[in-house]
Amino acid sequence: MTPGSRPATSSGTGAGGYLDAASAEPLHPAARETLLAALDQGYADPRRRHRAARTSRLLLDNAREVVAECLEVRPDEVTFTSSGTDAVHRGLLGLRAGRARHGDAVVHSAVEHSAVLHAAAWVPGDHVAVGVDRLGRVDPADVRRAASADGVAVAAVQAANHEVGTVQPVAEVAAALAGTGVPLFVDACASTGRLPLAAGWDAAAASAHKWGGPAGVGLLLVRKGARWRNPFPGDDRVDERSTGFENVPAALAAAAALQAVVAEREEVGRRQAALVDRVRSAVAAVPDTEVVGDPRDRLPHLVTFSCLYVDGEALVDGLDRRGHGVASGSACTASTLEPSHVLAAMGALTHGNVRVSLARGTTEAEVEGFLAALPEVVAGIRSEVGL
C-alpha cells in the first residue's frame, strides 16, 4: 500500500468505506509527514545531555507546547503516555492516590469507558455508578449527591460517550462538585480534537489515534495545583508523571495531527454532522430499529442504532462483506461478546447494535452505499432465523 492510500475493502454493491473512525481515525497527512521527518531526529533519550538528546528534548517540548495551545492548557500540564488507556488509568488513579486520607471510593457515570471501570475495579473501595437518562447523559446533581458521601476520593465523568456520542455536562458537573473537595477526572479520548476540551477537570485523558495521530500515544493532563500522586511504581525521570522513555517522533506527529484537526474542526464537523443526520433519519426508517443517543448535543461523526431480532456480530460481518467497516457494541468489550454496559444503562436494546463513525475523509457516496446495504443485510439476517 502506498502512503496515503485507503485500505482495501471487500467487494460488494454500492460505495464501500471505513466507518469505524471512533475506534481509530486513519493517520492524518500532517501526522504522516511529521512522523517521517522526526524519525531521523527524535531517536535519542530526551533526558540525556548530548547533542542528539537535546534535539529530542526540543522536539518533545515543541510537541507539548503545540498540544497545550490546541487544548488551551499549560505545557507543564501535558504528559505523553503510551496510550489513552494508560492516560485514563494514571489520571483517575493518580487523583485517587492524592486523596488517600479522605477515602478510596470512586464515583463514575454508568456509561464510562471500560478503561475507567477497570481502573476503579483495580483498587479497593465502594465504587458508585451514577445512572444516566435515555440519551445517556448524567445529571450533575446526581453526581454531587454520590460524591458527597463519606469516603469518596474522586469522581469520573467522560467528555462524550464513545458508543452513542452523547456529550456530558462536564462543566456543570465540575460546578456541582465545588465545595465537596472531590476532584473530577474526565476521559476525553472520544472527543479530543473534535470538540473543545470542557472546563472544570482536575485530570483528563486523550488518545492520539482517535484524532488521526499515530497509535501508541496518549495524553495525560493534570491541572496545575491538583492533588495528583503517581499510583504506579516510579521512574528515574524528572517528571513524576512520566511513563518512561517517550516516543518522541510519535508524540510530535500526534501534536501535528491535533493542530491540523483543530484548525479544520468546524468545517469537518459540519460536514460530518450533516452526514450523520442523514444516517439517523434513514436508519430510523428500517423496521424495528432504534437510534440511540442525543440527536443534537453529540459528537459530530458518530451514531449508534440497534436492530431487533438481529445479532450485532452477524450484522457487522454482513456489512463488511459489502465493503462497509462498522463496529458493534462496545469497541472494548465486543470481543468478549458481553452486552454493551452503555446501552444497558440507557435502557436501550443491547443486542443487534451498530456504531457508525465517520472518518475525516468519509464521502457522501460511502454513506449512501452503507444506507443502501443496511436494509438488505438486516432483512437477510432476519430471514435466516425465520422472521
Rounded-to-integer distance, Cα 357 and Cα 302, Å: 4
**What was the pLDDT predicted at 131?**
98
Whether the predicted model's global pTM rises above the 0.85 cut? yes
**What was the pLDDT predicted at 333?**
46
- Average pLDDT in the 95-123 region? 95
CATH number of 29-262: 3.40.640.10
Angle at 177 between CA 242 and CA 330, to 5 degrees: 60
Q: What is the DSSP letter of 166?
A: B
Lowest mean pLDDT among 10-24, 231-245, 324-338: 324-338
Mean pLDDT of the chain: 91
What tens digit of pLDDT does each residue of 19-78 get? Answer: 999 999 999 999 999 999 999 999 998 989 999 999 999 999 999 999 999 999 999 999
Q: For 168, left (φ over 0), alpha (ψ -120 to 50), or beta?
A: beta
**What was the pLDDT predicted at 1?**
36
pLDDT at residue 157 is higher than 90: yes
359 compared with 127, residue with greater pLDDT: 359
* Spatial CA neighbour of 322 closest among 24, 25, 5, 17: 17
pLDDT at residue 334 is higher than 70: no
Lowest mean pLDDT among 32-41, 72-81, 244-253, 322-331: 322-331
Lowest mean pLDDT among 78-82, 205-209, 309-313: 309-313
Q: What is the DSSP letter of 26?
A: P
Q: Where, residue-wise, is CATH 3.90.1150.10 in the chain? A: 17-27+265-384
- Average pLDDT in the 344-350 region? 92
Beta bridge partners of 18: 325
Alpha helices in 106-155 (DSSP H): 114-122, 140-147
342, three cell numbers: 452503555
What CA–CA distances, in Å, run from 383 to 310, 323, 370?
A: 10, 21, 20
Rounded-to-integer distance, Cα 148 and Cα 144, Å: 6
154 sits in which H/E element: strand 151-156
Q: Which residue has the cell 502506498?
A: 2
Q: Where, residue-wise, is CATH 3.40.640.10 in the chain? A: 29-262
What tens digit of pLDDT does each residue of 164-203 get? Answer: 999 999 999 999 999 999 999 999 999 999 999 999 999 9
What tens digit of pLDDT does each residue of 265-282 get? Answer: 999 999 999 999 999 999
pLDDT at residue 113 is higher than 50: yes
Lowest mean pLDDT among 220-224, 241-245, 317-321, 346-350: 241-245
Q: Is-contact 14 368, C-beta < 8 A?
A: yes
Residue 70 appears among annotated catalytic residues? no
pLDDT at residue 350 is higher than 50: yes
Q: By percentage, how much of the chain surpasses pLDDT 70? A: 92
Q: Is-contact 156 185, C-beta < 8 A?
A: yes
Q: Which of these is catalytic: 70, 189, 307, 332?
A: 332
Q: By percentage, how much of the chain surpasses pLDDT 90? A: 83
Rounded-to-integer distance, Cα 191 and Cα 213, Å: 14
pLDDT tier, 237 (very low <50, low <70, confident <90, very high otherwise): low
pLDDT at residue 292 is higher than 50: yes
CATH number of 17-27+265-384: 3.90.1150.10
Q: For 15, left (φ over 0), alpha (ψ -120 to 50), or beta?
A: beta
